[in-house]
């Protein structure tokens, strides 16, 4: 978190903590003294703490825009942690539209970039409606406030109050030295872009319906040996998500590889052996409290109120990379736009395959054929031992590989010395930072983490990685030229 935004982040978390007390949920939502102290530690290490305290904080206009974008992303990540029923599909969708809005708000100031309007059928935004004297940052501030409020609809109003807090603080700061006409035109442009993007999103009737009813009673899961079944008291999450709009590549355009193993009870079969690996890995990790347990919890991102969503995690990584690699605002907005498109399209294609193949979670097989005492390492965080949708392919692996492919393209290579500090200061799970020498290494570890967690076999993660990189290749080819 940055120095400027520290106050409102703590305010938001404090409000949520009060709400949790009323609901006896302190075990999940408690903002510990250690966590608060660590926020300050992170700030001391941040770009904001290294600024000079004069003029515009020692930043040039591009850096000011980047800091504004990061501050809004930081707030989004706080809100993402406390979403209810959005994850991971609707958060992936939200990210695509939010960062489409950010990109379109500023694209007139971006040398070498053009609007996406002609490539997105039904997106009706005319850049000619932008006045000449728009302040880019003030327009972005207005736009982000509106789209975050709209797309993060399942977060409590008290928690969402942080949106208006940040908007007002930034608006006061950014309006200094601007004429009233500039202020009015900037706010009007940010508002128009946000409203245009929201209107465009509403033309996707399938998504609008499903995000408010993620467990449709109309869906009846097929029954059979080796097929996925919901745990007691659960129902399938997002079974029709394959009908949702994609931005670059649809499920029909992605290739689909069937699971390499059929259900098989033979101890010599590849299927049994992969399930046995999960049993041994998850059990050993828990009993020994070893690195595999650290890896599994570090990448879990499964639990509402405790962690951000899996797509959101990739934006936490992006925020850190933007600062580490000192991107300018054009590169920042390109990265976030493409990453949003990749997360959205990854969710649509992965869930298409999940409900096409309907493969069982490891725990169901292991309990019946290998170890009747087996529990996943996710079970201590949620009432169900598994996420409530089929296993193949792994969503975490798909999101991670799609993000990795985008990062490799934006940063022009796979190799990078990067430490993910997303969960620094958290004490409820194993959260210590982890260092990586490449994006692909980071994505592979994310996919692997689902095995010692106990919720996927290796084949699930392998297919997720293959699918994710296929999606990122399409997204990386998305043309942002002004002449397209």
pLDDT tens digit sequence for 117-165: 999 999 999 999 999 999 999 999 999 999 999 999 999 888 899 999 9
pLDDT in tens, 312-329: 999 999 999 999 999 999
The average confidence (pLDDT) of the chain is 90
For the record, the structure tokens of 281 come out as 């890995």
pLDDT in tens, 86-119: 899 999 999 999 999 999 999 999 999 999 999 9
CA-CA-CA-CA torsion sign (39, 45, 46, 52): positive
305: exposed, middle or buried (C-beta count within 10 Å: 0-12, 13-18, 19+)?
middle
Radius of gyration of the chain (CA): 22
* Residue 25 pLDDT: 39
* Residue 21 pLDDT: 44
Residue spans of the domains in the chain: they are 6-208, 219-476
pLDDT at 37 over 50: no
Q: Which CATH architecture has domain 219-476?
A: Orthogonal Bundle (1.10)
Q: Which residue has the higher pLDDT, 228 or 1?
A: 228
Name the CATH topology of 6-208.
Vanadium-containing Chloroperoxidase; domain 1 (1.20.144)
What band does 20 get if pLDDT is binned at 50, 70 and 90? very low
* CA geometry: angle 454, 455, 457, nearest 5 deg: 85
Mean pLDDT along residues 341-361? 98
* Residue 157 pLDDT: 86
Q: Which residues contact 385 (CB under 8 A, 6 or more apart)?
A: 231, 361, 363, 375, 376, 378, 379, 454, 455
- Give the integer Cα–Cα distance in Å for 90 and 402: 17
């Amino acid at each position: 978190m940055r120095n400027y935004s520290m106050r409102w982040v703590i305010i938001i978390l404090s409000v949520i903590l009060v709400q949790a007390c009323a609901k006896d949920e302190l075990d999940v939502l408690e903002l510990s003294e250690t966590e608060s102290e660590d926020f300050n530690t992170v700030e001391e290490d941040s770009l904001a703490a290294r600024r000079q305290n004069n003029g515009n904080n020692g930043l040039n206009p591009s850096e000011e825009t980047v800091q504004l974008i990061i501050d809004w992303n930081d707030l989004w990540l706080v809100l993402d942690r406390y979403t209810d029923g959005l994850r991971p599909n609707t958060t992936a969708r939200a990210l695509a539209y939010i960062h489409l809005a950010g990109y379109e708000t500023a694209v007139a100031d971006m040398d070498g970039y053009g609007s996406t309007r002609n490539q997105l059928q039904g997106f009706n935004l005319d850049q000619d409606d932008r006045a000449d004297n728009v302040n880019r940052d003030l327009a972005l501030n207005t736009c982000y406030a509106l789209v975050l409020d709209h797309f993060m609809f399942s977060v409590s109003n008290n928690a969402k109050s942080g949106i208006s807090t940040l908007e007002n603080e930034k608006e006061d700061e950014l309006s200094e030295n601007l004429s009233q006409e500039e202020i009015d035109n900037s706010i009007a442009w940010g508002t128009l872009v946000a409203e245009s993007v929201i209107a465009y999103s509403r033309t996707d009737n399938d998504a609008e319906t499903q995000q408010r009813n993620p467990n449709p009673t109309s869906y009846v899961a097929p029954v059979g040996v080796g097929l996925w079944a919901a745990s007691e008291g659960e129902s399938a999450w997002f079974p029709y998500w394959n009908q949702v709009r994609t931005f670059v590549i649809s499920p029909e355009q992605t290739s689909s590889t069937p699971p390499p193993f059929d259900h098989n009870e033979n101890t010599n079969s590849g299927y049994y052996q992969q399930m046995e690996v999960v049993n041994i890995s998850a059990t050993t990790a828990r009993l020994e409290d070893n690195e595999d347990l650290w890896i599994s919890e570090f990448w879990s991102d499964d639990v509402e109120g405790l962690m951000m969503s899996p797509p959101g995690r990739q934006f936490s990584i992006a925020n850190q990379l933007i600062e580490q690699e000192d991107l300018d605002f054009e590169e920042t907005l390109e990265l976030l736009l493409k990453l949003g498109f990749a997360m959205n399209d990854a969710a649509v294609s992965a869930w298409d395959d999940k409900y096409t193949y309907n493969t069982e979670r490891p725990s169901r097989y292991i309990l019946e054929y290998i170890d009747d005492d087996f529990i996943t390492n996710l079970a201590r965080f949620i009432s169900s031992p598994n996420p409530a949708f089929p296993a193949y392919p792994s969503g975490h692996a798909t999101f991670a590989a799609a993000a990795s492919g985008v990062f490799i393209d934006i940063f022009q290579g796979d190799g990078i010395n990067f430490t993910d500090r997303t969960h620094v200061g958290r004490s409820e799970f194993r959260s210590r930072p982890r260092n990586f020498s490449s994006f692909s290494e980071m994505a592979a570890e994310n996919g692997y983490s689902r095995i010692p967690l106990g919720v996927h076999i290796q084949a699930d993660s392998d297919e997720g990685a293959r699918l994710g990189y296929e999606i990122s290749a399409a997204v990386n080819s998305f043309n942002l030229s002004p002449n397209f």
